[in-house]
Amino acid sequence: MIDPTPLSLESTPRGVWPGVLIAAMVFIVTAPTLSWLEFSNGSENLNVATALEIRRTGNWLLPTLQGEPRYAKPPLTVWITAASIRQFTFDALSNPDPTLRANAYRDAAWQMRWPAYATSCLSILALYLLARALCGNQIAVSAALIFGTSFAFIRFSHSATTDVYLTFWVTIANVFLVKAIFQNQRWTGFIGAGVAIGLAFMSKGPVALVQTLAPAIAFATYRYYANRRAGRPSFIAHRSSLLPIAFAIFVGLLIALPWFIHVVSRIDAWSRWRREIMIGDQSVPGDSILAYSSLFLILAPWTAFFIVGLFLAITHLRSTAKPETRNPEPVIFALFLVFVPIVVMTCAHRDRNERYLLPMIGPASILAAYGLLSCFASRAAIPARIRNLLAAAQFAILIGAGVLLPLLGATGLLKATTHDDGTPWFSWRLAISVALACLLILLVGLYVYRRRPMSLIATSVLIMLIAQTIGAHGYRHTDLASTRPLADLIWSRFPQADMYSYRPGQTGRRAPEELSIYLNRSVRPIQDPAVLKPANRPQVVMVYQKAGRPMPDLPANWKAFAKLPRKEDAWHGFVVPPNDSERR
């Protein structure tokens, strides 16, 4: 039977160095892979295309995308991305020489991604501080290692997206909220949280409140009723908290509001913002209401221990009113940090993407660390048979990541592990070398585990870092950015062309953002082909054709030169010749 008594959560001072070392280790191992991948991530492409357009136009306060105001998301992420591009690199993105241009895009990928990835690694440090403030040093070290080697971190942290910066500021805000709630540091805690929430708001908008204030308010309400049932003082907030809370709100608004005020003073943005945050926007395809259950999958390989920690936290939640020798509230607060935002986001928005879970992976890692320590601490709360089953599940996942992944990548049996030309990701020599190295690590880890069960953490970290690097190596030669050859064709045939896109009957829909990235120019949407007249230089129009529908009527002087398949649909490239061609 599982012992529900909470672990001892006492902390001894060790400073921030364990968290710094873990964050530095993850950054050093993975940073060299940042320039390997094409710009093919949809959310990253929106940010990168906007950042390049900022550098072309100088519109920093009201950024544009394809010539239209880009105000759906606050601009902190795109500001950082735009500022990170060196001027020499930016100029080289428009070099007519394809080799120099390719080198420039490789440099630009590094320059725009490294601040985001450094921020992700700082999120590991921030999570260490959060876990240490809640649960003590041992859980903090384990949680930081779990977070930095989870599938979610490996998958989402290397891209320059709003979710990366949101995760950092949300985690920092929760660190300060813990100081205010659990350590009685009201001024430092609430004001620090106000600053961090303001910056999180500038990263992605109101969802920052859902991932910080909503869990804190829910926990305060829970504590109020739990204290009443236990006969303890039942106030929600001490009177001495009111002034620092008020000042924190003022500071947060001072950071978050000026840009929004500037936007509404220039354009009518309310309807777009309403579509972004209100319930039931019928124009957005709805994902399954269970979409966020993927949290259990993207926490791999630590999923089994997360389930244990989740079970124990729920047990503590139900028994808080009873006399306890140890206080379970910090673990309950971590539980609220994971699931209160998920519940609100599920109910409040039809678009439910896995990457939106990234800010909750940190608190989930705390629960996973709590479950792991509950299994292998000196006074284990989990029976030996269950512990061994959990360890077996962990080793099975690690075998898949470290041994099977490279071998499958060498066979070419799975489309997901082949390049566009059908060749496998890896040579057999590389695949066998990596698989044997990982197998050796696993065998040594299994041997040490029998004597020191906590060594399972080190084994898992090593395998996941190797798997991340070898996975990125396989991706590096996969042409994910399918528009890049088209961009190169346009550079070779129409290097000075103005770019447009046309989607019949679909207002505001644009061509793929990576096309404007690899052309380093805007691809402006038009509503009517008749608006384009021959000019002094060529004009290229990307025309969208829905599967099963005929091509729309186009002017007779438009000349087709390319076709870009997009699943069942297609984009067709047409050129409007310049005036001098018309005269000839």
Q: Is the pLDDT of residue 271 over 80?
A: no
Q: Is the pLDDT of residue 307 over 50?
A: yes
Q: For residue 481, what pLDDT band results from cuts at 50, 70 and 90? A: low
Q: Nearest CA to 468 among 71, 156, 98, 228?
A: 156
**Whether residue 262 is found in the same domain as residue 134:** yes
Domain hosting residue 412, numbered range: 398-474
If you search the block for the tokens 């879970």, which residue do you land on? 357
For the segment 94-114, the average pLDDT, to the nearest whole number, is 95
Which segment of 315-324, 469-478, 488-497 scores lowest on mean pLDDT?
315-324
- Look at residue 278 in the predicted model and tell me its pLDDT: 58
**Whether residue 312 is found in the same domain as residue 443:** no
**Whether residue 197 is found in the same domain as residue 303:** yes
**Whether residue 149 is found in the same domain as residue 45:** yes
Q: For residue 325, what pLDDT band results from cuts at 50, 70 and 90? A: very low
**Whether residue 562 is found in the same domain as residue 425:** no
What's the order of all strands across the beta sheet hosting 523-526?
A: 523-526, 498-502, 539-545, 569-576, 559-566
Q: Nearest CA to 425 among 411, 439, 404?
A: 411
Q: Is the pLDDT of residue 324 over 50?
A: no
Q: Which helix (H) or strand (E) holds 499?
A: strand 498-502
**Whether residue 104 is found in the same domain as residue 213:** yes
In a domain, 479, yes or no: no
Q: Is the pLDDT of residue 219 over 60?
A: yes
In a domain, 199, yes or no: yes
pLDDT digits (tens, 9 = 90+) for 60-81: 999 999 989 998 889 999 999 9
**Whether residue 248 is found in the same domain as residue 156:** yes
Q: Is the pLDDT of residue 213 over 90?
A: yes
Q: Which helix (H) or strand (E) holds 135?
A: helix 98-135
Highest mean pLDDT among 124-138, 508-522, 528-542: 124-138
For the segment 494-501, the average pLDDT, to the nearest whole number, is 92
Which segment of 176-180, 304-308, 398-402, 415-419 scores lowest on mean pLDDT?
415-419
Domain count, the chain: 3
Strands (E), 76-224: none
In a domain, 154, yes or no: yes
Which segment of 44-53, 453-462, 477-486 scores lowest on mean pLDDT?
477-486
Strands (E), 58-152: 64-65, 68-69
> Which of 474, 496, 529 corresponds to the end of one domain?
474
> Which of 474, 507, 532 corresponds to the end of one domain?
474
**Whether residue 130 is found in the same domain as residue 149:** yes
pLDDT digits (tens, 9 = 90+) for 387-432: 889 999 999 999 999 999 999 888 877 666 676 667 888 889 999 9
- Max CA separation in the chain (angstroms): 93
How do 523-526 and 498-502 pair as beta strands? parallel
In a domain, 95, yes or no: yes
Average pLDDT along the chain: 87
**Whether residue 577 is found in the same domain as residue 513:** yes
Q: Which residue has the higher pLDDT, 16 or 52?
A: 52
Share of the chain above pLDDT 90, in %: 61
Q: Is the pLDDT of residue 508 over 60?
A: no
Q: Distance of CA 208 to CAs 163, 173, 565, Å? A: 10, 9, 37
**Whether residue 448 is found in the same domain as residue 307:** no
**Whether residue 455 is found in the same domain as residue 516:** no
- Look at residue 386 in the predicted model and tell me its pLDDT: 86
In a domain, 30, yes or no: yes
pLDDT digits (tens, 9 = 90+) for 524-550: 999 888 888 878 889 999 999 888 888
In a domain, 390, yes or no: no
> Which of 449, 474, 499 corresponds to the end of one domain?
474
Alpha-carbon Rg for the chain in angstroms: 26
Q: Is the pLDDT of residue 447 over 70?
A: yes
In a domain, 55, yes or no: yes
In a domain, 522, yes or no: yes
CB of 350 closer than 8 Å to CB of 324: no
Residues whose CB falls within 8 Å of the CB of residue 97, separated by 6 or more in sequence, listed in order: none
- Look at residue 286 in the predicted model and tell me its pLDDT: 67
- Look at residue 28 in the predicted model and tell me its pLDDT: 95
pTM for the model stands at 0.93
- Look at residue 260 in the predicted model and tell me its pLDDT: 94
**Whether residue 338 is found in the same domain as residue 419:** no
pLDDT digits (tens, 9 = 90+) for 337-386: 999 999 999 988 778 889 999 999 999 999 999 999 988 875 556 778 88
| Cα–Cα distance for residue pair 481/484, rounded to 1 Å | 6
Q: Is the pLDDT of residue 265 over 80?
A: yes
Q: For residue 8, what pLDDT band results from cuts at 50, 70 and 90? A: low
